[in-house]
Amino acid sequence: MKLTAGQTFVLIGDSITEAGRDMTGEDTPWSPGTGFGSGYVNFLNALMLSDSPDAGVRMINQGLGGHTTRDLKARWQSDVLDLDPDWLSVAIGVNDVWRQFDVPLRKETHVYAEEYERTYDELLEKTRGQLAGLILISPFVMEPHRENPMRATMDHYGRIVETLARKHNAYFVDAQAELDKLMQHIPATALAWDRIHINSVGHMALARAVYKIIA
């Protein structure tokens, strides 16, 4: 495994990362089984420990529902830098796009592509030098029709993340591509009732994609 004992792995993002985790963000004696939430972070930890029970890696879930890159910028110091991670995974962008479609008249909540890329890039510039490994996960929507306006916008933001991954020498997880594979066989609404909040099958697909990188 690329991570070694004693290292810290922080995973930050929105509700997809949070997935109902408690505020510790960790599996501790006083929050057994709840700190990682019920999503891909929890599955990733299970995959890691089932293969490497002596891994000795400290994982911290820093996902918070509804957050955009603006929100990450506001909490980057406390939720990333102050934890001095060795590895960092970032999954952000779903809400940057979604707010443009679910509340189209509340333009103050919209994070358009230029701001998204600039803010994301600034955060990575602050952090990349101290990391042994960096993973960037693209945003996604459970919409199989690529010409759909929200899907097209999400794909554009995903390409921004891929560009940033190349710039910052990071691993890139194309979450949309992983979930597209599932939608070839399972209806989108069966995987995510609102096209965003994926079920355990979707979360497992993301966990496996990340685990392939660190294994």
Residues that are catalytic: 15, 194, 197
Helices (H), 4-68: 15-18, 40-51
Give every CB contact of residue 79 below 8 A, 6+ residues apart in sequence.
Answer: 10, 12, 62, 72
Nearest CA-CA partner of 144 in 104, 186, 174: 186
Contact 43, 207 (CB under 8 A): yes
Would you tell me the crossing angle of helices 94-102 and 149-167 to the nearest 10 degrees? 160
Burial of 168 (0-12, 13-18, 19+ CB in 10 A): middle
Per-residue burial over 91-129, b if 16 or more Cβ lie within 10 Å, else e, is: bbbbbbbbbbeeeeeeeebbbeeeebbebbbebbeebee
Q: What is the dihedral of CA 168, 126, 65, 88, to 10 degrees?
A: 60
Q: What stretch of H or E contains 128?
A: none
